[in-house]
Each structure stands twice: as C-alpha cells, then as structure tokens.
A and B are shown apart, each in its own frame.
Chain A
Amino acid sequence: MAEYQTHEHEVLVIGAGGAGLRAAIEASALGAKVAVVCKSLLGKAHTVMAEGGIAAALANVDDRDNWKVHFADTMRGGQYLNNPRMAQLHAQEAPARVRELEAWGALFDRTPDGRILQRNFGGHKYPRLAHVGDRTGLEMIRTLQDHGIHRGIDFFMECTVLRLLKDGGRIAGAFAYDRERGFFHLFRAPAIVLATGGAGRAYQITSNSWEYTGDGLALAYEAGATLMDMEFVQFHPTGMVWPPSVRGILVTEGVRGEGGILLNKDGRRFLFDDIPENYRAQTADNEEEGWRYTQGDKNARRPPELLTRDHVARCIVREIREGRGSPHGGVFLDISWIKRKLPNAAEYIKRKLPSMYHQFKQLADIDITAEPMEVGPTTHYMMGGVRVNAETQMSDVPGLFAAGECAAGLHGANRLGGNSLSDLLVFGKRAGEYAARFAQQSRPATPDPEEVEAVARQALAPFESYSGDNPYQVQRELQEVMQNWVGIVRREEELHRALEALGRLKERAKRASVTGNREYNPGWHTALDLHSLLVVSEAIARSAIERKESRGAHFRDDYPSQDPAFGRVNVVVRKGADGTMQVTREPLPPMPAELQQIIEEMK
C-alpha cells in the first residue's frame, strides 16, 4: 500500500503562473474551496520571466485602437487557424483584466497624462502592450500572488502532479508528489484547471526552465482530452547565442519595439528584403519611416523587424544558413544605433530595457547601449495544447479545464508577442469561474483506489531500476532529436526519423534509474518528467507530419507554401483505444459572419 495524504477541494488548479493564479482567485471569489499546486515555489513560474508586456486595446496611446483591431491582428498573426470566438473574447476582455491588475496594486509605466502606457510589438497595429520596463511578468505574477494569498486558497508549493484521476467519464482528482520530502498527495476535486504552461524543455535551445516539460498536455492526453495545433511551436527570433552557457535565454521583442534593428554580417537590414504579401500594406519600405513608427508617428508604418515572430525567425535562419550570420552563429540586433537619433540614447535604453542591459552586461560582457547583440532563434512558446470550449475553457473531459499556454485555440499558427499574458488573465478568469460553477453543481466524484496504487508504484519504479540510463542523458538525447529534426525547418523523412528515435527513447525512459532517496531528488524528478516530454514530442512530430504545408510557425521544406485545404483544418491528437497516438484533421470552428466582416475590413 502506498502512503499518501488526501486533500478535498472543489477546484484544484495545477500551476501557479498567471493563468493558474487568476483562475484560483476567480474560483475562490465565487465561494469554491480552492487548492493550487505548482512544481516550483510561488512566484517562480514562467510568467515571472515575461518581459515585453500585456496586449490589451486600452487605446491610451493611440485612440484608433479597439477590440476589433486587436482581434483582427490576432487572427492575421495566427494565419486564421485561431478559434475566432476565443480571439474575440480575448480582445474584448483584455482591457478590463489589465485594469483589474492595477486595482490589485500593479504599477505599470505611465503616459504623460498619468494613464497606463503602451508600447509597440510585432504584429500589433497600434502600441498596445501595457508594460513595466522589461519586467512585466514579474509585476503581473507578484500582483496576482500577493492578491491571491489573502483569499483563503490552499497553496501546495513544490508539488508535481503525476496523473489525473477519473470517476467514470469525469474528473475526480489528481495524484502528486511533493519535491521537498518525496511524499505522495491525493487531491480529490470534481473540477481541475490545468495551467501548466509550455513544453520548451523538449528542445536543446530554449528560453524555458526545467518546469516546462509539457506535463499538462500529457496529463490531459492520458485522461482522454484532445490536443490541438501541436505542430505550432514558436521559435522566438531573438535568443542569446553567445557565450554558450546563455544560449537560448530570451532577448525581448521590446528591443525592436524601442527601435532595435536586425543586421547581417554585412551590416544589411535583411528584413527589408522579404516582406510577406499580407503584411506589405502595413510595413514600412524604408528605414526612416520605420524609425518614425517606433517613435510614435501615427502616419508611419511599422519597420519589418516588427513582423510576426515566425517570419522574423525564418529570415534569421536564412541569413545564417547562407553564410551571412554573426561570428557565433546568429545575427546582430542593434539598439545602440539610436544614439544617432536621440540625444541621451544610452539613458533611454537603460530606462526602457533595464533587465536586457543588465543581462548582457553581466552574462555576455556586452554594453547594449554601445554595441550590437548577437541573437538567434530559441524555442519559446507552445501554440498548441488542450482543446477547450471558447467560453468555459472546459476540455472534452467533463470537469477538466485548461487555460494559458497549455490551452490551444487563441493563437492559431503563431502567437503575437504580448498576447500570452493577456490570454492568461482573460481565460484564467474564465476557467476559474466555470470550474467553480461546474464543481458546485456536480455530485462528489471518487478516484479509483487501485489506479492510485498503480500510479504510486510506477512513480517509485526508477528507484528499483539498477542498470538503466541516467535520466538526464535520456532528456539530453530527446532534446537533440527535437532540435535537429523537429525544429524550425522540417522535412518528412527527418520527422519520421525523429519518431523512430523517440520510440527508442521511450523504452530507455521506462528503465531510467535514479540514485539517492526520495527527498528533494532532481534525478528522480527528471526521470518522472520524461513521460510528459515524450508524449508531447511525439504529438509535435506526428502533427508536423500531418500538416503538409507551411503556415505560421510550422515550416516544411518539402511543402514550402500554404495550402488552402490545410487552412480549413486543425490537426488534433488523441489517445486511441489501443493506447497509440491518433492524429486527425478536423474542420475549423465556424467563423461568425460579423467576425469575418471585421477581418475583411482590417485587411
């Protein structure tokens, strides 16, 4: 018999990033008894690292902005694979969610007349990102955390969920282990909100931390939910490339929003060479106009550096492949050039981008006010995730909700910068609200004790395996496979090769061995995370094979153009009755006529 502590709640929130905290606050405001569990300490989730800002059509800086423009930008950025209803709700509700943060104590940068300041970002027509220098995520998570701890929510920090438990067809709870002591916990709850973030650890070069092994996606998949858009992994165009130890660490798009330009080794602004057709009308065709845009000239069009991330990342890869990269295999990102335009440029840069200044100074010996940075693409964000209902965020499994990065639908084939933080707030709130309602209307649900036993046994298996692989080694090899064969540029044969390699790694992961005991043992934790990484990696590779075209973040060398037939479907993944992964194409949700009209008007 496994030993575990049992806890009873109405709503269990898995994850304490922006989405999880916002969901928990909402559920508890509706009177539900709520628990939050997270893998790290409170306030350390990925949300804390977000830099650039929160997208919301507040229209404080440019009064031409409104939800319709934000909606149309989001759809265009997502290449129209987005769930239109989600994109609509997101654009409509984001401003209220941002103002609410202010009412809870967040302090955003201000406009001269004292309102919330907004900055430019890729793919957003008007300055739209509410921000705090380049540490917006810290402000957001701390505000939610400090608000949340006074609401009677039970927090279980450093506690990792291993399995969702069901009673018949619906959710009944979750089984978890606590990192610090290695104890097991059984959480009983009729409603669960997944807010587990992304899966960037599936790749070698990533801006993501150890937590992002795609647990939420794997948990939902195993519980019978549908995953969608898994082929769309966002590679952020600007990660650090040098020195080796910082490879992948993010350089915020805010650098380009403030006037930073991308150059190849010949000093050429190569993004002017390739402006996609659907953005041509909105993009500057000369450097002067681009600069005026970043300085707030409403008659200027945006510089090509602020095109969507998928496009910018691919142009960077092209420059590097064709031998025009920087010494360490990236390209140059230069903000220091603005000294030719502004009298006190160095001060301006330090004030607007303090943590970038700090990061390069301390980690790379580079003074960004005086010299260019070297940057290259880094794995950043998962557009795909758990398929949910647009209004309620409930998945196909009754009682299982998902919000934030682990949910799919809002971003389609490519996410716009700043649209994640707003996503967390809008849909975190909705998930919390509907989860509380669902719980309050449901009969008690009881997890199956035998299943609980089985999960506990499986979790302890690595301690009994004596001659298996080192789990870190398996993880490294998985990351290599994904980086090399399921990366920015994909080919069918390589994707198949990746699948074969993942199959072999799956066998090795089952036999991974760990040393030491159950107390705070990262080797054990890494071994347990492998399952999620493998499920997610397989889903990405299979979905990438299924989508035989190039669109948004998914680029196929063997099918380099868009195919209208694929513009009408989402690729979805489910666990089949025989336990294997099933991949199918399903038609997009219908586009309401009034939304179609907005899209046409804004084209």
Chain B
Amino acid sequence: MAKATFRIWRGDAKGGRFEDYTTEVVPGMVVLDAIHEIQATQANDLAVRWNCKAGKCGSCSAEINGLPRLMCMTRLSQLSLDKPVTVEPMRSFPLIKDLATDLSWNFRLKGSIKPFKPRPPDAPDGTWRMDQADVDRVQEFRKCIECFLCQDVCHVLRDHQLFDEFIGPRFLVHAASLEMHPLDIEDRREELRKAQGIGYCNITKCCTKVCPEEIKITDNAIIPLKERVVDQFYDPLARLLRVFRGNRSG
C-alpha cells in the first residue's frame, strides 16, 4: 500500500520544530485521517482539534503546505505525496500546542458586537413575514462555520498584528449578517468605523479565497458594509469603490 510522509509542527508557546511521520494512504483519505492515524499509533499526545469530519463545524483549521485549509476537507489526492506534506497550526494565533491555537480573542470579540435586535412582529401572533430572496442574502453570511481561516490569512492581523484595532473578516461577516438581517433595527456603523476598524481592510480578498464555505466575504459583506459606513462617515476607499461600481453598473 502507498505511504505518505507528513511533516507536522510539534511544540508549544516556548518553541517547536517539524517532525516527520509516515503513514499508509487509503482511498479517499483526507489530511485529518492521516493526522488521526499518526496520533493513534505514533504520537498519542499530538494536539489537534476536530469534531464533524465533514466541513461543518470549523474545528480542524490548519496550514497545509502553507495554505490555510480545513484538514477534514483536504483530500490527499489533491496534494503531491512525492515530498512530505507540511501541516502546521494557524500562524496568526498564539500557539497552545502542536496544531491547536489559542482562539479566545475571537470568542471575546464576538461579545463586543451589538446583538440582534428585531423590529416588532409583523403578525398578531408574534411572528414575522420575510421573503426568501431577502433571507438568501443573509443566509450566505450565516453559513459561516467559524473556522477563522479568514482571520488567519488577513494581513491586517497576520502581518500587522492589529488585533486591538481590527475585528477581521469573520466578524465583518458577522456584522454584515446582523446589519443586513431583514428584521434587525440596530445601528452598528459607528463602532464598525471606530473600534472595529473596518477602514483597515484594503480589499485584498485573501479572506474570500480561503473561506471553505465560499462566502464572498469581501464583495458581499465588507464592501456593502463599507458603503453603509460611508453613508454616515467618510471612508476614502469605499467612496472610490462606490464611484467605481456605480460607473460600471450605470
């Protein structure tokens, strides 16, 4: 049976190194299967998060051959097995151990975004009426599985380390899902501009490229949010974009 070598990051906050492990390849195998096999037979203490093994929970994020991906949705058949496959933790977050990183910043951040606030019910029985078309738009954002791969790849966080100034693409998607929710009547524009730093995003679209849920983060969430904020305040890039897009469609 064919074999493959995995070069896995082992270590903790104090330091670490890559270690090579070789395991058998079975048909249909994904990277997470290989990690599990290695964990069960060669490295019982290899730290890794996972839950669903079907791309639904967003637990198994890692960098595979340098690309941020879900381990459970990365087939070995998509990778070249001639040389070792490198598997390392998301590099933008503090390391706990091996492939597990400290994601607590993300969870804290969410609590700082103003929660959903609906308009009064439409019907006497306390329910609302919504069109599927209006729901569709926000359902795209609500597909987010909180894998934080977009946060991992965004240069504002990864390279510039602006964790205190910028909430990152995941939470811009979250803000968009609230702002564009057909029932929501809260206004989040001021924080988006100030504390949440939407202006730091310069629309490189790296986040969109890695999103396993194929959410068009930049085009459908961030740019419309920037436009909303600009209606209230001034953001040069968003204004420019609006002119741009306006011209194209007009």
Q: Which residues of A contact B (CB under 8 A)?
A: 40-46, 48-49, 99, 102-105, 107-110, 113-116, 132-133, 135, 138-139, 142, 146-147, 149-150, 155, 157, 180, 209-211, 242-246, 249-250, 355, 358-359, 362-364, 470-473, 476, 514-517, 519-524, 526
Give the contacting residue for B39; candidates A44, A132, A246, A472; CB below 8 A: A472
Closest to B100 in A: A520
Is B232 in the interface zone, CB < 8 Å from A? no
Across chains A and B, which 8 residue pairs bring their CB atoms closest together, nearest first?
A: A243-B28, A523-B44, A516-B45, A114-B129, A105-B116, A472-B40, A520-B47, A520-B97
Q: Given the known A-B contacts A142-B142, A472-B39, are A41 and B49 also in contact in the complex, defined by CB atoms under 8 Å?
A: yes
Q: Given the known A-B contacts A44-B51, A146-B116, A363-B28, are A520 and B96 also in contact in the complex, defined by CB atoms under 8 Å?
A: yes
Q: Given the known A-B contacts A105-B116, A107-B138, A476-B40, are A135 and B47 also in contact in the complex, defined by CB atoms under 8 Å?
A: no
**Mask of B26-65 contacts with A, CB within 8 angstroms, 1/0:** 1111100100000111001111111111111111000000
Q: Which residues of the partner chain A approach B118 to less than 8 Å between Cβ atoms?
A: 103, 105
Is B88 in the interface zone, CB < 8 Å from A? no
Contact B28 A519 (CB under 8 A): no
Task: Give Cα A40 to B54, complex, Å.
Answer: 16
Contact A362 B73 (CB under 8 A): yes
Q: State the Cβ distance, A282 to closest chain B Cβ, in Å.
A: 30
Give the contacting residue for A243; candidates B26, B41, B130, B132; CB below 8 A: B26
Closest to A473 in B: B40
Q: Which residues of the partner chain A approach B203 to less than 8 Å between Cβ atoms?
A: none
Closest to B48 in A: A522
Q: Which residues of the partner chain B approach A146 to less than 8 Å between Cβ atoms?
A: 110, 115-116
Q: Which residues of the partner chain B approach A116 to less than 8 Å between Cβ atoms?
A: 127
Task: Give Cα A107 to B137, complex, Å.
Answer: 11
Contact B143 A523 (CB under 8 A): no
Q: State the Cβ distance, A380 to closest chain B Cβ, in Å.
A: 13
Q: Which residues of the partner chain A approach B131 to less than 8 Å between Cβ atoms?
A: 110, 114
Q: Which residues of the partner chain A approach B127 to less than 8 Å between Cβ atoms?
A: 99, 102, 115-116
Contact A107 B142 (CB under 8 A): yes
Task: Give Cα A396 to B26, complex, Å.
Answer: 48
Q: Which residues of the partner chain B approach A472 to less than 8 Å between Cβ atoms?
A: 39-41, 44
Q: Given the known A-B contacts A49-B57, A523-B45, are A149 and B110 also in contact in the complex, defined by CB atoms under 8 Å?
A: yes
Give the contacting residue for B29; candidates A49, A135, A245, A522; CB below 8 A: A245
Q: State the Cβ distance, A420 to closest chain B Cβ, in Å.
A: 16
Q: Which residues of the partner chain B approach A517 to less than 8 Å between Cβ atoms?
A: 45
Contact B46 A109 (CB under 8 A): no
Contact B51 A249 (CB under 8 A): no
Q: State the Cβ distance, B31 to closest chain A Cβ, in Å.
A: 10
Contact B57 A359 (CB under 8 A): no
**Mask of B67-97 contacts with A, CB within 8 angstroms, 1/0:** 0000001010000000000000000000011
Is B241 in the interface zone, CB < 8 Å from A? no
Task: Give Cα A209 to B143, complex, Å.
Answer: 20
Is B181 in the interface zone, CB < 8 Å from A? yes
Residue of B41, B47, B181, B183 contacting most chain A CB atoms (<10 Å) = B47
Is B103 in the interface zone, CB < 8 Å from A? yes
10 A-B pairs with C-beta separation under 8 A: A40-B51, A42-B107, A102-B128, A103-B126, A107-B130, A211-B51, A243-B27, A246-B53, A523-B39, A526-B44
Give the contacting residue for B59; candidates A40, A103, A147, A470; CB below 8 A: A40
Q: Which residues of the partner chain B approach A103 to less than 8 Å between Cβ atoms?
A: 118, 121, 126
Task: Give Cα A364 to B48, complex, Å.
Answer: 24
Task: Give Cα A364 to B28, complex, Å.
Answer: 7
Q: State the Cβ distance, B42 to closest chain A Cβ, in Å.
A: 10
Contact B129 A115 (CB under 8 A): yes
Closest to B103 in A: A41
Q: Which residues of the partner chain A approach B28 to less than 8 Å between Cβ atoms?
A: 242-246, 363-364
Closest to A524 in B: B45
Contact B52 A522 (CB under 8 A): no
Task: Give Cα A128 to B219, complex, Å.
Answer: 36
Is B152 in the interface zone, CB < 8 Å from A? no
Q: Which residues of the partner chain B approach A471 to less than 8 Å between Cβ atoms?
A: 44
Is B236 in the interface zone, CB < 8 Å from A? no
Q: Given the known A-B contacts A243-B28, A364-B28, are A109 and B135 also in contact in the complex, defined by CB atoms under 8 Å?
A: yes
Closest to B178 in A: A105
Q: Which residues of the partner chain B approach A147 to less than 8 Å between Cβ atoms?
A: 115-116
Contact A245 B145 (CB under 8 A): no
Is B98 in the interface zone, CB < 8 Å from A? yes
Contact A48 B52 (CB under 8 A): yes
Q: Which residues of the partner chain A approach B30 to less than 8 Å between Cβ atoms?
A: 245, 363
Contact A110 B130 (CB under 8 A): yes
Q: Which residues of the partner chain B approach A514 to less than 8 Å between Cβ atoms?
A: 44-45
Q: State the Cβ distance, A486 to closest chain B Cβ, in Å.
A: 22
Q: State the Cβ distance, B204 to closest chain A Cβ, in Å.
A: 26
Is B246 in the interface zone, CB < 8 Å from A? no
Closest to B131 in A: A114
Task: Give Cα A114 to B52, complex, Å.
Answer: 32
Task: Give Cα A104 to B49, complex, Å.
Answer: 29
Contact B51 A209 (CB under 8 A): yes
Contact B110 A48 (CB under 8 A): no
Q: Which residues of the partner chain B approach A115 to less than 8 Å between Cβ atoms?
A: 127, 129
Is B111 in the interface zone, CB < 8 Å from A? yes
Q: State the Cβ distance, B203 to closest chain A Cβ, in Å.
A: 26
Task: Give Cα A150 to B116, complex, Å.
Answer: 10
Q: State the Cβ distance, A29 to closest chain B Cβ, in Å.
A: 14
Closest to A527 in B: B44
Is B202 in the interface zone, CB < 8 Å from A? no
Q: State the Cβ distance, B24 to closest chain A Cβ, in Å.
A: 11
Contacts A472-B39, A514-B45, A524-B45 known; 15 new A-B pairs at CB < 8 A: A44-B59, A49-B57, A103-B118, A103-B121, A105-B115, A108-B135, A110-B130, A116-B127, A135-B56, A135-B143, A245-B30, A471-B44, A517-B45, A521-B47, A523-B45
Give the contacting residue for B52; candidates A49, A104, A113, A521; CB below 8 A: A49
Q: Given the known A-B contacts A115-B129, A246-B28, are A359 and B142 also in contact in the complex, defined by CB atoms under 8 Å?
A: no
